[in-house]
Structure 1
Amino acid sequence: MSQQHILQVSELTKKVRFILESELNTVWLCGEISNFIAASSGHWYLSLKDSKSQVRCAMFKGNNRRVRISPRNGQQVLVRARVSLYEPRGDFQLIIEQMEDAGEGLLRQQYDQLKQKLNAQGLFGQAHKQILPKHIKTVGIVTSPTGAAVKDILSVLKRRNPTIKAIIYPSLVQGEAATADIVAAIRLANERNECDVLIVGRGGGSLEDLWCFNEESVVNAIYQSQLPIISAVGHEIDTTLSDYVADVRAATPSAAAELVSDEVTELSDKIAHLTKRLLVNQQQVAQLSRQRYLALAHRLSQVHPEQKLQVQQQKADELENRLQYAIKRELQRFTIKPTQLKARLTLCSPEKSLADKNKQLKQLTQRLEHNAQQLVSQKQQDFAHLVEQLHMVSPLATIARGYSIARDANHTIIKSTKQVTEGDELTLQLHQGSLKTKVISKQN
């Protein structure tokens, strides 16, 4: 342990990133987009996946501005990317530099690969290219007999040099069967050897429409042709592999007709030859410059602050996403909390307790009224009984039987003759009414 250098985590991720970027450099990759995010900074973050694996990717705004498609989840794309490592997390990722739809992108990749292969085999070299004859009398045309290209060629030939004879070798110029048709037509023209130069071409179209002129068998047929061939495929901006292998490339079918209808002088031959050499040299210089640029760009990326800035921007985007998620989560929590508190408040609300108390009060009131009525009824019954008992012992009842009660002037009941003297006035209480009497005599 004492003799080994112990790495920090940041040192390890930096070394791994350097190894990945220096060893793998740029790769082409085809896959399906998932987890696509267009950050507010302008950068894109996504994953590319197939049925077994996926890899994280980032495409910075300087590059994604040139993308002609609108990326979406589930879309198949072809990308050119640098293999790298996102050091803050230690995540393996790709830095995408170019993106296009997988269909056209795969064709473009096949085009570039086949172009490199055929160029390495020498099919595009100037050494095998033939010079067009100075005096052309017969022109062979390999194209569709009903297309616009053959009409344009015949129209230009008729206008510029009506003496030139044209022989049409009919062929399909689009679709899977077109490749074999074009090859057969070129071979037939060579077997008959009845024309001075052969024009192979068609009108413009997409890369897929023109693909038969990029097929290796068509390129080999043009390369092996003993007749000089002018490639006139598409419009001026369209370029096929047939253009590179042909002896002369014309921008359009009409331009090819103009080439064969001109009287070619030594000066024009020399200009055409020098132009071809210039194009080849320009391509070589451009290729060398591109290689040097890529090497310098790679070296610069190791020390350039833009690399660190991109990492920091990616980290800032990630933190922004985390912050937005946290804010959203807190907002949801604060939205739910009042509802929870309201539910708790409802459970603790005095309204329910008050309703229960009112119900209980009503029940007690009813019980009180019932008990009061029972008590009053009982008291009435008791009172009636007492009245009845009182009536039974009441002196009035005795009086009702014929007895009377004597009272003196002071209303004192006379119970004995000793209480009165002769001559005293008494009041006799009868059952009905009273009498005033005077004591005449008394007996003891």
Structure 2
Amino acid sequence: MSSLSNPNIFTVSRLNAEVRLLLENEMGIVWLLGEISNFSAPVSGHWYLTLKDSRAQVKCAMFRGNNRQVTFEPQNGHQVLVKARLSLYEPRGDYQLIIESMQPEGDGMLQQQFEQLKLKLASEGLFAQSSKLPLPEHPKCVGIITSKTGAALFDILNVLKRRDPSLEVIIYPTVVQGEEAAIQIAQTIGCANSRNECDVLILGRGGGSLEDLWCFNHEIVARTIAASQIPIISAVGHEIDVTISDFVADMRAATPSAAAELVSRDNSHKLQTFNTIESRLKRAFSHYINVHKQMTTTLAHRLQRQHPNNQLQRQSQQLDELSTRLQRSITLYIKAQRQDISQHYYKLQLHTPSRHISGQRSKLERLEQKLIDSMERHLLKARHQLCLAGEKLDTVSPLATLKRGYSITQTTSGQVITRTKDVKSGDTIVTRLGDGDIHSTVA
């Protein structure tokens, strides 16, 4: 059976695609705390980095559309909290995170804890309107849970004194900031419930930073508020400040002064009733919006995972990587070519014709000198041998015999005459003497 026709046999590309979809669909959005390393920002505008802790690390990418929202400049060594979706870079099979938002560690961690607790309590129904107690229409006693030295207490007392001086007030002092504040606030709410002296409780303090108000975001405070048998109005911070206690309380007031106005009566009690209904309506509408916002966010994430932009982002990341690899390859190729040229140039210098000709010329001059010397020696030897041979020849030469008075008679053709019968009358003969020749005619 062919592997291509068998659905149980994966190709590498198919396997990576399936794993990527599995990671993106099953894991969804995650929050991650880590230290930035290997940060890079190529000309494409995307960011690539590694998030690590003391024992592990994970590769991350943050694309241009998202990193424009980051309000600080990330650097290696920074501790950050990121919101990201799990994915897989298919060409290399690398598991990675696609970062959607990034915050410095401090603010980000608190905000993350806030969101996690908010989702947890909302899923348990602690924010549901059906679980909230109605505020008494005509309270006779109001309990105030706050710092005995804070401005919030004096704001509440001033409003109550101005609007309803006959209203009884009981103060339950507690710290509203610091590590022990959450436990003390929970204990104070429990004390007020056990004493059961009041018709309504105001839990509040003045404004501050997220860290200052953090005790009102603790789970123990939220659950104590939800368990209270006395209606509680949450009046923490300024109007823009939102805490977990605001969601769990039976009513939220924008400020401590606004909470005092909610529980006090004056000639505008109809307006107060209207405000109460309006606040409940806003709260219900806010809850409805939050629920549908979460649904919309979930659907948006599902849609985003199928969005063509994700493919473009992956291709853009791949393009950045290929561009980096191409640039590195070109650099290495140019370096190798330069080394190769240098080696060939060195070899060429070693085998250059000028050096070879110069060497051959020197060799030729040496051979020429050797030839001259050899010829001179050969000529000298030949002259010496010639002299010796001349001397030997002279000793046996007929000319020497002729010089001693002998002669040689020859015909005109050079034949030596040794007998008289070799000539006849009228022949011309030549007689060679030691100092010359005599021509004569035979009679």
Normalised by the length of structure 2, the TM-score is 0.68
Equivalenced residues, count: 341
Secondary structure at the aligned position of 1:4 is classed as: coil
- The aligned counterpart of 1:291 is 295
Quote the offset at 1:224 in angstroms: 2.5
Q: Return the letter of the residue paired with 1:230.
A: I
- The aligned counterpart of 2:386 is none
Secondary structure at the aligned position of 1:145 is classed as: coil
- The aligned counterpart of 1:75 is 78
Quote the offset at 1:217 in angstroms: 2.1
Give CA-to-partner distance per residue, 1:265-285, whole Å, 9 cap, x none.
577546634642553354335
Counterparts of 2:246 and 2:263, CA distance in 1: 16
The verdict on how the C-alpha distance between 1:245 and 1:43 changes in structure 2, with shifts beyond 3 A counting, is same
Q: Return the letter of the residue paired with 1:218.
A: V
Give CA-to-partner distance per residue, 1:103-158, whole Å, 9 cap, x none.
33232222222223323333222233222222234322111111121122122223
Secondary structure at the aligned position of 1:217 is classed as: helix
Same amino acid, percent of matched pairs:
55
Quote the offset at 1:297 in angstroms: 4.3
Quote the offset at 1:318 in angstroms: 2.5
Residue from 10, 14, 22 that aligns with 2:25: 22
The verdict on how the C-alpha distance between 1:21 and 1:120 changes in structure 2, with shifts beyond 3 A counting, is closer
Residue from 36, 43, 46 that aligns with 2:46: 43
Matched, 1:238 2:241: yes
Give CA-to-partner distance per residue, 1:355-385, whole Å, 9 cap, x none.
xxxxxxxxxxxxxxxxxxxxxxxxxxxxxxx
The verdict on how the C-alpha distance between 1:194 and 1:321 changes in structure 2, with shifts beyond 3 A counting, is same
Give CA-to-partner distance per residue, 1:279-326, whole Å, 9 cap, x none.
335433543354245335424533x33122212221233344446656
Q: Return the letter of the residue paired with 2:276.
A: A
Counterparts of 1:204 and 1:118, CA distance in 2: 24
Give CA-to-partner distance per residue, 1:230-253, whole Å, 9 cap, x none.
111111121111111211101111
Aligned-residue CA RMSD in angstroms? 3.2
Contact 1:134 1:265 in 2 (8 A): no
Residue from 59, 62, 69 that aligns with 1:59: 62
- The aligned counterpart of 1:170 is 173
Quote the offset at 1:59 in angstroms: 0.8
Secondary structure at the aligned position of 1:11 is classed as: helix
Q: Return the letter of the residue paired with 1:284.
A: Y
Counterparts of 2:339 and 2:161, CA distance in 1: 85
- The aligned counterpart of 1:99 is 102
Deviates more, 1:10-19 or 1:43-52: 10-19
Matched, 1:280 2:284: yes
The verdict on how the C-alpha distance between 1:67 and 1:132 changes in structure 2, with shifts beyond 3 A counting, is same
Unaligned runs of 5+ in 1: 349-444
Secondary structure at the aligned position of 2:210 is classed as: coil
Q: Return the letter of the residue paired with 1:193.
A: N
Q: Return the letter of the residue paired with 1:4.
A: N
Counterparts of 1:336 and 1:139, CA distance in 2: 90
Counterparts of 1:325 and 1:238, CA distance in 2: 52
Matched, 1:305 2:304: no
Secondary structure at the aligned position of 2:58 is classed as: strand
Secondary structure at the aligned position of 1:237 is classed as: coil
1:346-361 matched pairs, under 5 angstroms: none
Unaligned runs of 5+ in 2: 351-443
Contact 2:262 2:272 in 1 (8 A): no
Contact 2:143 2:202 in 1 (8 A): yes
Quote the offset at 1:47 in angstroms: 0.6
Quote the offset at 1:61 in angstroms: 1.9
Counterparts of 1:308 and 1:225, CA distance in 2: 52
Quote the offset at 1:35 in angstroms: 0.7
Residue from 187, 192, 201 that aligns with 1:184: 187
Quote the offset at 1:34 in angstroms: 0.8
Residue from 181, 188, 197 that aligns with 1:194: 197
Counterparts of 1:39 and 1:335, CA distance in 2: 28
- The aligned counterpart of 1:88 is 91
Quote the offset at 1:45 in angstroms: 0.8
Quote the offset at 1:7 in angstroms: 4.9
Secondary structure at the aligned position of 1:198 is classed as: strand
Residue from 141, 154, 162 that aligns with 1:138: 141
- The aligned counterpart of 1:434 is none
Normalised by the length of structure 1, the TM-score is 0.68
Give CA-to-partner distance per residue, 1:392-437, whole Å, 9 cap, x none.
xxxxxxxxxxxxxxxxxxxxxxxxxxxxxxxxxxxxxxxxxxxxxx
